[in-house]
């Protein structure tokens, strides 16, 4: 596992220290910027770097053509792959997003994001996020950025026609393929095993074939009721075929809240089978694709809630109910990447608030902040899912010492603060308290914003103690 307990200095060295930027001084500057961003995460450089000299150096770095964002991404990916090889396997959630950026005059080189009616400008990105078997974020494997130019309004019929005419390398599908291929290669270099997790956007024949050829496991949520390969005259489709089979198991799965879903424990009925799909690789040609299918439907959802209906395609073996459940659980962990995108874009890191004036500068700075966001998410999820783990797993001895002092200063009368090592759950709650968390408004556990705010206050206090102790010596 990665060792955030070494502090932000060692974490930044681990994440960015292998970046090949043509000059060791540039790499050293990158490490320093990564450390500072981890201590004071924010979208605007002026909010991260308070000293004028440090701020000028940061601007010079992100605006320099000599700094390759791909090299920064490669260093982060290497750190994640090295951590992943210590696990039996890691889930790798792959998902697309966009960064909406300020470009009122449309002169910064950004492209269209979101709907054309909204008129938003920014950059498109696909991220591959590694998650350990226990569900905690490990780090980024890679990201792929691009600018969407020349978007025009088209009817649905016209859009379908143009989509059929274009080859995969002419579509945005190519960015998904690049991300999957690069992630697989980086993990293979360290001997790490991946289990890719992708949503319905990935249910396209080029991506299914690429995942199969990657040498890793994969699960893709189907977007289509696909045609089964058959030599007979009558056509048979996947859902109809699975619907005739007996359930392989009934499970209870904890669901996190979504845009149109309340958090709940869902009872799922699962059916599974080995099938052969007829993938339409062209208008006149289909190829046979052998895959395992797991279809889960929710039994008796709460009133007002849409029942879950997931049709999952996977190359992992399914011979019993336990293996089917592992497929379902792996897919639920795909939501970690949505939490990451939220923390990165509008949560603790606020990358969408950057005022940088070129796509290249934005990508360099956003890539640094992306690594910081994974650190925030890791600490947040460990505090929720492994609360009894000693806090030394994520915080340095000095950070814990200062945190205990700060907590004693602001504790309630009825609270007792132990002098020994707190659990990670306790420490995360104390940090969130420093960030203004009360639990009253949200009713849930601390989020990335309050944790980032609280950790920033903790860092300032730690730096003051370090400076005082150095002065005494």
Asked if residue 381 lies in contact with residue 46, where contact means CB atoms within 8 angstroms, the answer is no
Residues sharing a CB contact under 8 Å with residue 231, sequence separation 6 or more, in sequence order: none
Residues sharing a CB contact under 8 Å with residue 327, sequence separation 6 or more, in sequence order: 219, 292, 294, 312, 314, 316, 318
Note whether 310 and 413 are same-domain residues: no
Note whether 217 and 270 are same-domain residues: yes
Assess if residue 256 is contained within a domain.
yes
Write down the mean pLDDT value for the chain: 88
| Choice between 450 and 322, residue whose per-residue pLDDT is larger | 322
Instruction: Tell me how far apart the alpha carbons of residues 466 and 401 are, in angstroms, rounded to a whole number.
Output: 12
Q: Among 332, 353, 374, identify where a domain stops.
A: 353
* 397-411 tens-digit pLDDT: 888 989 989 988 887
**How much is the average pLDDT of 156-178?**
72
Assess if residue 158 is contained within a domain.
yes
Asked if residue 148 lies in contact with residue 113, where contact means CB atoms within 8 angstroms, the answer is yes
pLDDT, residue 5, reads 44
According to DSSP H, which parts of 192-255 are helical? 205-213, 238-243
Which burial class, exposed, middle or buried, applies to 87 when counting CB atoms under 10 A from its CB (0-12, 13-18, 19+)? middle
pLDDT, residue 158, reads 61
pLDDT, residue 103, reads 80
Please report which confidence band the pLDDT of residue 189 belongs to, taking 50, 70 and 90 as the band edges.
very high
Note whether 336 and 394 are same-domain residues: no
pLDDT, residue 7, reads 76
Note whether 341 and 393 are same-domain residues: no
- The answer on pLDDT for 292 being more than 90 is yes
Assess if residue 159 is contained within a domain.
yes
* 201-259 tens-digit pLDDT: 999 999 999 999 999 999 999 999 999 997 666 889 999 999 999 999 898 888 877 77
User: How many CA atoms does the CB half-sphere of 127 hold within 13 Å?
Assistant: 29
- The answer on pLDDT for 290 being more than 90 is yes
pLDDT, residue 4, reads 41
Reduced to 3 states, what is the DSSP secondary structure of residue 45? helix
Assess if residue 335 is contained within a domain.
yes
| Choice between 56 and 153, residue whose per-residue pLDDT is larger | 56
Assess if residue 374 is contained within a domain.
no
- The answer on pLDDT for 32 being more than 60 is yes
Note whether 396 and 347 are same-domain residues: no
Please report which confidence band the pLDDT of residue 190 belongs to, taking 50, 70 and 90 as the band edges.
very high
For a pLDDT cut of 70, what percent of the chain falls above it? 92
Reduced to 3 states, what is the DSSP secondary structure of residue 129? strand
- Domain containing residue 444: 387-472
Which burial class, exposed, middle or buried, applies to 332 when counting CB atoms under 10 A from its CB (0-12, 13-18, 19+)? middle
pLDDT, residue 147, reads 93
Note whether 299 and 254 are same-domain residues: yes
Instruction: Tell me how far apart the alpha carbons of residues 189 and 85 are, in angstroms, rounded to a whole number.
Output: 9
pLDDT, residue 1, reads 40
**How much is the average pLDDT of 295-323?**
92
- The answer on pLDDT for 377 being more than 60 is yes
Assess if residue 106 is contained within a domain.
yes
Assess if residue 112 is contained within a domain.
yes
Q: Among 353, 378, 407, identify where a domain stops.
A: 353
Number of domains the chain contains: 2
Note whether 282 and 415 are same-domain residues: no
| Choice between 79 and 121, residue whose per-residue pLDDT is larger | 79
Note whether 264 and 339 are same-domain residues: yes
Assess if residue 343 is contained within a domain.
yes
Instruction: Tell me how far apart the alpha carbons of residues 86 and 79 are, in angstroms, rounded to a whole number.
Output: 12
Write out the H or E segment, with its range, that includes residue 135: none
Domain CATH code at residue 466? 1.10.740.10
C-alpha angle 61-123-170 in degrees, rounded to nearest 5: 120
Reduced to 3 states, what is the DSSP secondary structure of residue 348? coil
What secondary structure does DSSP assign to 398-448, as a single string? HHHHHHHHHHHHH--TT----SSPPBHHHHHHHHHHHTT--STTT-SS--H
Domain CATH code at residue 152? 3.90.350.10
Note whether 144 and 285 are same-domain residues: yes
Note whether 320 and 394 are same-domain residues: no
Q: Among 296, 330, 353, identify where a domain stops.
A: 353
For a pLDDT cut of 90, what percent of the chain falls above it? 57
Note whether 255 and 309 are same-domain residues: yes
* 245-266 tens-digit pLDDT: 999 989 888 887 777 778 888 8
Note whether 222 and 98 are same-domain residues: yes
pTM: 0.87
């Amino acid at each position: 596992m990665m060792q955030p307990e070494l502090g932000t200095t060692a974490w930044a060295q681990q994440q960015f220290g292998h970046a090949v930027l043509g000059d060791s001084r540039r790499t050293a500057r990158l490490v320093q910027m990564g450390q500072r961003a981890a201590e004071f995460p924010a979208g605007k450089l002026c909010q991260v770097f308070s000293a004028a000299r440090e701020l000028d150096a940061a601007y010079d770095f992100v605006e320099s053509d000599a700094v390759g964002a791909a090299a920064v991404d490669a260093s982060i990916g290497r750190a994640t792959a090295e951590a992943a090889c210590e696990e039996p396997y890691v889930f790798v959630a792959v998902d697309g997003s966009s960064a909406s950026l300020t470009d009122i005059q449309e002169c910064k080189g950004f492209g269209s994001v979101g709907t054309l009616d909204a008129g938003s400008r920014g950059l498109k990105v696909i991220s591959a996020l590694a998650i350990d078997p226990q569900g905690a974020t490990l780090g980024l494997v890679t990201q792929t950025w691009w600018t969407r130019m020349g978007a025009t309004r088209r009817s649905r019929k016209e859009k379908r026609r143009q989509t059929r005419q274009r080859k995969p390398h002419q579509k945005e599908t190519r960015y998904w393929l690049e991300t999957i291929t690069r992630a697989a290669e980086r993990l293979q270099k360290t001997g790490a095993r991946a289990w890719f997790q992708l949503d319905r956007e990935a249910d396209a024949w080029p991506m299914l074939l690429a995942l199969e050829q990657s040498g890793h496991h994969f699960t893709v949520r189907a977007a289509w009721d696909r045609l089964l390969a058959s030599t007979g005259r009558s056509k048979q489709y996947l859902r109809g075929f699975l619907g005739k089979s007996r359930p392989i198991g009934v499970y209870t799965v904890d669901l996190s809240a979504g845009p149109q879903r309340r958090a709940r424990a869902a009872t799922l009925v699962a059916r599974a089978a080995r099938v052969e799909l007829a993938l339409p690789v062209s208008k006149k040609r289909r190829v046979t694709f052998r895959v395992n299918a797991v279809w889960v439907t929710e039994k008796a959802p709460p009133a007002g809630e849409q029942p879950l209906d997931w049709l999952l395609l996977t190359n992992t073996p399914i011979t019993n109910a336990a293996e089917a459940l592992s497929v379902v659980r792996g897919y639920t962990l795909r939501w970690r990447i949505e939490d990451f995108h939220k923390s990165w874009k509008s949560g603790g890191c606020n990358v969408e608030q950057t005022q940088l004036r070129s796509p290249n500068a934005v990508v360099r700075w956003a890539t640094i902040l992306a690594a910081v966001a994974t650190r925030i998410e890791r600490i947040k999820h460990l505090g929720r899912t492994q609360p009894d783990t000693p806090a030394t797993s994520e915080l340095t001895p000095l950070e814990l010492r200062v945190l205990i002092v700060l907590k004693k200063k602001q504790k309630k009368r009825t609270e007792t603060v132990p002098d020994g090592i707190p659990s990670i759950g306790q420490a995360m709650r104390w940090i969130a308290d420093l960030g203004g968390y009360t639990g009253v408004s949200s009713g849930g556990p601390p989020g990335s914003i309050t944790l980032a705010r609280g950790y920033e206050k903790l860092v300032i206090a730690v730096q003051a103690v370090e400076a005082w102790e150095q002065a005494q010596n």
